Amino acid sequence: MEELGQSLRSCNGIAVRYQAADMIVELPTGGGRRHAVKVQSRRLPGTNGHVLWLQSRAALVSQPKIVRKALRENGGLSEIGFALDVTVEPPSLDVVCGVIAQGVTVEELLDALQKVSWAASAIDARVAAGDHF
């Protein structure tokens, strides 16, 4: 993961820092905004391989209908999905994505990071503006 972090650092506008075993990648998401994505290496159950687990805070969940909408959106077209982090109060809606670590390229990881950060940032902006998710 450190090698990937080094490669990401060389990309324009991307900041990488480490927090315990996690890698925090901050990416520009347009309009002067930046969004952080946590990257963890996790074992993939049922296999001998690992997954790069991408997670980014999108919004705090104050209404149950956000949960329902997120679950419905999860069935949609995108590669990324939504998860609910119940370890914080109020719970947080996260944008998540699992990238197979075996044979992953920097381009593929960067593509996934951009998708996660853009989606999380867009929801964050909409909710902050009082719009519905």
Partner 1 sequence: MTSAKAAPPPVPVPMARILALQPKLRPTDLEDAVVSTEDPLLLETVCNLVRIWATARKDLPADFSERVQVKALSRQPLSFASIDMETVERDAMQVNEPFPPGSGVDASPWPTSDLFMLRPLSPPTFPPAPQRTRVDLPGRQSVGVCTSCQGAGAENCVTCAASGRQICGSCSGTRQVTCPQCGGGGTHIGVSGRYIQCRRCNTRGTIQCQNCRATGQVTCQVCAGRGTLQCEVCSGHGNLKSRWVLNVNTETAHEHEFSLADPWPAPTEQLLSDTEVLSEVIVRPADGDATISAVAPASLRSMARRVLEKVSSSASGEQRIAAYRVQIRGTYLYDVRLEYSGRPFTVLIGGLRSQVFPKSALPAKSGALQTLGRFFQKGLRALATDERPGVGSDFVKAVSVGSAHLTDTNCLLPAVAAYLRCPCSVTGEGYVLQVVEEASKGSIPGPAIPISIKLDSEVAGKLTLCASVIIGDAHRDQFPLALSLNSKLMVGRLAVTEIDGVETYIYVDRRPYDFASAGRYAAVLQGMAAAVRWLSSSKPLN
CB atoms within 10 A of CB 84: 14
3 state SS of 20: coil
DSSP conformational letter for 92: E
C-beta of 81: minimal distance to partner 1 in Å? 3
C-beta of 123: minimal distance to partner 1 in Å? 14
Give CA–CA dist 119/52, Å, rounded. 18
Which pair of structure tokens corresponds to residue 109?
């990881």
The CA–CA distances, whole Å, from 4 to 9, 41, 97 equal 9, 12, 17
C-beta of 99: minimal distance to partner 1 in Å? 9
Pick 94 or 124: Cβ nearer partner 1: 94
Give CA–CA dist 99/66, Å, rounded. 25
* Candidate list 3, 10, 20, 77; residue touching partner 1; CB under 8 A: 77
Mutual angle of helices 106-128 and 2-9, in 10-degree steps: 70
* Candidate list 11, 15, 42, 63; residue touching partner 1; CB under 8 A: 42
C-beta of 122: minimal distance to partner 1 in Å? 14
51 binds partner 1 (CB under 8 A): yes
78 binds partner 1 (CB under 8 A): yes
Catalog residues that contact partner 1 under the rule CB under 8 A.
Answer: 42-47, 49, 51, 53, 55, 64, 67-68, 70-79, 81-86, 91, 93-94, 96, 98, 100, 102-103, 108
